[in-house]
Amino acid sequence: MRYLGIDYGAKRIGLAISDPAAQFAFPHETIPNDTTTLDRIRQVIKREEIGGIIIGDARASNGEVNPITQEVETFTDSLKALHVPVHSVSEAWSSVEAARFAPKGSEHNDASAAAIILQRFLDAQVGG
């Protein structure tokens, strides 16, 4: 089964997709966060035969809420209307980690951050 990873941002949303064996996550694309977002995600789910969605939980690493937490939770609820199981995974430090591997000049890559979030989920499935 393939999974879709999501790194939510107020302006842009990073998407990543796993391989069919659900072992590796790959950056897919960055889409605008606007009125077309859910339709775009729906198209990716259909085209890529996605069986589950993994979204980054925007809480701080200590579990505290931050200014974007409620926005992410509302978006997560809207994803449930796509009729695909939705799971949350900590996104703490995912953007920083993604920046470490980004080519020079593109230090902020939302799709790469989504791949890190998705890979965390995939790695946890191996052990669980």
pLDDT in tens, 53-108: 999 987 666 667 777 788 999 999 999 999 999 999 876 555 555 555 555 665 56
The pLDDT of residue 98: 53
Helices (H), 13-93: 37-48, 69-79
Q: CATH number for 2-127: choose from 3.40.50.720, 3.30.56.10, 3.30.420.140, 3.40.50.300.
A: 3.30.420.140
pLDDT in tens, 38-54: 999 999 999 999 999 99
Is 58 strand, coil or helix? coil
Helices (H), the chain: 37-48, 69-79, 94-101, 110-127
Locus of tokens 């949303």? 13
Q: Return the closest-CA partner of residue 89 out of 51, 50, 115.
A: 115
The pLDDT of residue 54: 97
The pLDDT of residue 90: 75
9 burial (CB, 10 Å; 0-12 / 13-18 / 19+) is buried
**Distance (Å, whole) CA 21 – CA 75:** 27
